[in-house]
Amino acid sequence: MSTFTTTTYLLCVSVGCLSVLIMSGNLLVIISIIYFKQLHTPTNYLILSLAVADLLVGLLVLPFSTILAVSSCWDHQDLLCEVRTTFDISLCTSSILNLCFISVDRYYAVCQPLRYRAKINVRVIVIMILVSWIFPTLNGIIHAIIGVHDGQSNRKCVLIQNINSGSTGLVLLFYLPAIIMLITYLKILMVAQRQARSIQNTTCQSKKSESKMERKATKTLAIVMGVFLICWSPFILCRTFNPFTNFIIPDAVIAIFKWLGWSNSMLNPLIYAFFYSWFRSAFRMIISGKLFLGDFTKSKLF
């Protein structure tokens, strides 16, 4: 009994700390983009949408998952299971769709800079964000309905082993967007290298500076995508191959991989802070409380 109590206590503390870190980091990103007018760009609006999805993971998914993990005799566990599953599937799908649209934004910014403002305008960004939220929400609700219909057990709930989501769902919701992002960023990399060589031969400092900023933004967002894939791939691969191996992968391993995937929501703000000087400046102003001392919406962050 004491072992169970100690384990439960450690789990709750760990998840609590992870939730606070996720919510704090992504809240900094959200406030920065909304408050500072300099950050009102198409790419940052997509980053804002991604940060909202990550924030909700820390606010909704992790606490529900902890309750399910430590309370096996709760009267309303089936209902909580379906609610958590709906949030989990919706928010994870929203994250990868946001990342996919970010790669499209970067493609036009780097590969077709002259057409970028015409192709990626406010209306297009709004459509991208709506698609990134409406489709995942419907998908999460459908999964919840299927779970209720099939009488999903608690074990499957905790590990999200809904077999009815199947390989087709994984292909459409993870593998296909991941392949699109990888191909897009590889093409961006090749074009960026060609542009870098041509820019070196010009004497226009403004073009050099603009090209350097675009390449840095693309590199940073490619790292965000890479971290996402590293965090989620182990769990997705387990879900893909476990049914074909008669479910030989231990439950504990799958649970660890799932928590690794959720921890990705904490890493994106750290990446922005490390690579983007303007996000670092915005974070410092927010944390120091400087925003309460006056109107800094038009401050120069870089």
Is pLDDT above 80 for 2?
A: no
Give pLDDT, residue 149: 59
Give pLDDT, residue 40: 93
H or E stretch at 16: helix 2-35
Neighbouring residues of 197: CB distance < 8 A, sequence distance ≥ 6: none
Domains of the chain, first to last: 2-293 (1.20.1070.10)
Instruction: Tell me which residue of 227, 231, 256 sits closest to 14, measured CA to CA.
Output: 256
146: confidence class by pLDDT, cuts 50, 70, 90:
confident
CA distance 208 to 214: 10
**pTM across the whole model:** 0.86
Residue 202 exposed, middle or buried by CB count within 10 Å (0-12, 13-18, 19+) = exposed
pLDDT tens string 247-266: 888 888 888 888 888 888 99
CA distance 141 to 137: 6
Is pLDDT above 70 for 270?
A: yes
pLDDT tens string 61-89: 888 887 777 765 555 667 777 788 888 88
CB 48, CB 30: distance < 8 Å: yes
CB 196, CB 215: distance < 8 Å: yes
Q: Higher-confidence residue: 194 or 298?
A: 298
Please state the length of the chain: 302
